[in-house]
Amino acid sequence: MEFVIVWAIVELLLALILVVATAFISAVFFEAYRRKNNNAHVDAPAIFEDPNSLLKQVPCPSIFDPAEKYLSLIVPAFNEELRLPGALDETMNYLQQRAAKDKSFTYEVVIVDDGSVDGTKRVAFEFVKKYGVDNVRIILLGRNHGKGEAIRKGMLHSRGELLLMLDADGATKVNDVEKLEKQIHAVAEQDKFRDSSAGNSSFRISDIPIAAFGSRAHLEGKALATRKWYRNFLMKGFHLVVLLAAGPGIRDTQCGFKMFTRAAARKLFTNIRLNRWCFDVEVVYLCKWFKIPMLEISVSWSEIPGSKVNPLSIPNMLWELVLMSVGYRTGMWKIRS
């Protein structure tokens, strides 16, 4: 009798596990299918407003247009009223000093307000008023979509030959841009030499697809020693899933300091489907798909109070990585060439 009861319980548990597994797999495929056209809205226009001209709308550029600036800096901002001013002050001081030394250096800062409900929009417009709409621009998303969507929108409406994404907290020093820039130019020069040997003398850095990833991997040992054990466990698990989803090559996929040539940004950000934290991993996956050279470069980084990433974000990240793997590997997520 006891054996029959135990066996019935085992059968019930197995049936429950089968139902849960079937439901999970169905949910994954349904959500992956639902997101298959998530990149279709990238053609929707963005709006720039000039607060110095009674909010006159400024023509909005496209990533498919020729570059008009040398460097674009894309800053996603969600409820960053307190941290944004310091980061923007440091960024603008650096850019102005560099422009004063080199007259050929042109730039723009594109702030993407991701549906903030605090004073982020007001702070951003103060910088537009101070520096002019040609140098500082704001894209208002209206509601919160996620960091990935904010950066995608900024990338698709920037004018630079080189496009840098950087966080609004100022965790990475903006002058580290020169580290990424130098390495991109070194790789581009090799392509230039090959093109010249083939008889093609025209060369612009914007035309060669290259991606440079700022990295905090050199700081990992110190981080492991100071973080709580459960955070280390969760992050190690996340890194393992990233390795399975996107493959090896980039040790730190989540650093918010990445640079792309215009040609690379055009290919990558017209295909990105993940709206939130894991879009970085999707960028790595797409770089490999397009055979875009990826450079990982150590940058300075410091912990800034107010981070919006917490251990509870990990399950959502894992969910998105599963969706990405299923979407691309089943062919549901078509890649624009």
Q: How confident is the model at residue 117 (pLDDT cuts 50, 70, 90)?
A: very high
Question: Measured between alpha carbons, how far is 81 from 264 in angstroms, rounded to an integer?
Answer: 31
Q: Where is average pLDDT lowest: 125-129, 193-197, 200-204?
A: 193-197
Q: How high is the pLDDT of residue 160?
A: 97
Question: Measured between alpha carbons, how far is 144 from 78 in angstroms, rounded to an integer?
Answer: 8
Q: Where is average pLDDT lowest: 46-55, 145-154, 304-313?
A: 304-313
Give per-residue pLDDT as tens, 213-242.
Answer: 998 876 655 554 455 555 555 666 666 777
* Residue 117 domain-assigned (yes or no): yes
Domain housing 147: 40-329
Q: Exposed (0-12), middle (13-18) or buried (19+): which is 22, by Cβ within 10 Å?
A: exposed
For residue 246 the two structure tokens come to: 């996107």
Q: Where is average pLDDT lowest: 37-41, 119-123, 176-180, 212-216?
A: 37-41
Q: How high is the pLDDT of residue 225?
A: 45
* Residue 99 domain-assigned (yes or no): yes
The total domain count for the chain is 1
Question: Measured between alpha carbons, how far is 3 from 6 in angstroms, rounded to an integer?
Answer: 5
* Residue 28 domain-assigned (yes or no): no
Q: How high is the pLDDT of residue 130?
A: 94
For position 120, which CATH number holds? Answer: 3.90.550.10
Greater pLDDT, 81 or 231: 81
* Residue 75 domain-assigned (yes or no): yes
Give per-residue pLDDT as tens, 83-104.
Answer: 999 999 999 999 999 999 999 9
Greater pLDDT, 41 or 276: 276
* Residue 306 domain-assigned (yes or no): yes
Greater pLDDT, 314 or 155: 155
* Residue 167 domain-assigned (yes or no): yes
Question: Measured between alpha carbons, how far is 136 from 253 in angstroms, rounded to an integer?
Answer: 28
Question: Measured between alpha carbons, how far is 284 from 113 in angstroms, rounded to an integer?
Answer: 25
* Residue 146 domain-assigned (yes or no): yes
Q: How high is the pLDDT of residue 44?
A: 53
Q: What is the mean pLDDT of the chain?
A: 84
* Residue 104 domain-assigned (yes or no): yes
Q: How high is the pLDDT of residue 123?
A: 95
